[in-house]
Amino acid sequence: MAIFKGAGVAIITPMYKDGSVNYEKLEQLVDEQITNGTDAIIICGTTGESSTLTEPEHVECIKVAAAAAKKRVPVIAGTGSNDTKTAIYLTKEAQDAGADGALIVSPYYNKATQKGLIAHYTEIAKHTDLPIILYNIQSRTGVNIAPETIVTLAKTCDNIVAVKEASGNISQVAKIMHLADGCVDLYSGNDDQIVPLLSLGGLGVISVLSNVAPKYTHDIVANYMAGNVAESCRMQLKALPLIDALFCEVNPIPVKMAMNLMGKDVGPLRLPLTEMEEGHVKILAQAMKDFGLAVKEN
């Protein structure tokens, strides 16, 4: 049984001007996402600035998201760390906080071997009942989870059930699905590759785009699943300029700016992330307008 099918939002963490977490706004954003068709809430991921949240803030964000979702859609908590013990702790806390699954990024900076990755994920899986989605994003972590490693983990750990693939390497994704032969669910980690990964057997996307266009992103997947492949492809291609603008600086700098341009008042970023360059703001605002999103005039 898949954790979810469709478009899950990699939701931002809203903050007050002083940089503290705005839990009331987070609750509101979760409700808005579900109302607009989002199929899952992914909390405390890269887009949620998990790397600069304290552990108490991290756990509280999961609690707030789970309470706001009210089991209408699954809530999947980012609980990865480069320290296995910390990842186990956060995953246990997420389960206690009401999460329905865990998204666990590969250990960063340590640059573990494939043997180390298997040991890391196996140890985490032993300590939770939550279904686990592996998160492969070498551009951030410095290490690729090889297709063989992904399949080994899925076959030896009952609760490792899926992978969020953000390598951008379509050939690697094809190899994962070939080797898996149905034992691993696949989610795109790149908004510009939703349809390509669906064509290889993917179940959906864990999306940054969904923060500003939840129904649209949901519909890309829903159309594909309903057999309307041409329409799904058309929607994917139409969204590419906006997707490019949402990644013209490191995520989540642009998407947080986009939400503020829409009047959602999600607040600032935490250092070392800084506010968007003015030239990039203009590019983002134009892409949003061309896509049909309302942009608040200054």
Number of residues that this document lists for the chain: 298
Q: Which residue has the tokens 């951030």?
A: 140
Contact present, 160 and 134 (Cβ < 8 Å): yes
| Separation CA 214–CA 221 (nearest Å) | 11
77 — alpha (psi -120 to 50), left (phi > 0) or beta? Answer: beta
Q: Which amino acid is at 169?
A: N
| Separation CA 234–CA 298 (nearest Å) | 32
The catalytic residues are 135, 164
DSSP string, 17-55: TTS-B-HHHHHHHHHHHHHTT--EEEESSTTTTGGGS-H
| Cα radius of gyration rounded to whole Å, the chain | 18
β-pair type (204-207, 185-188): parallel
β-pair type (101-105, 132-136): parallel
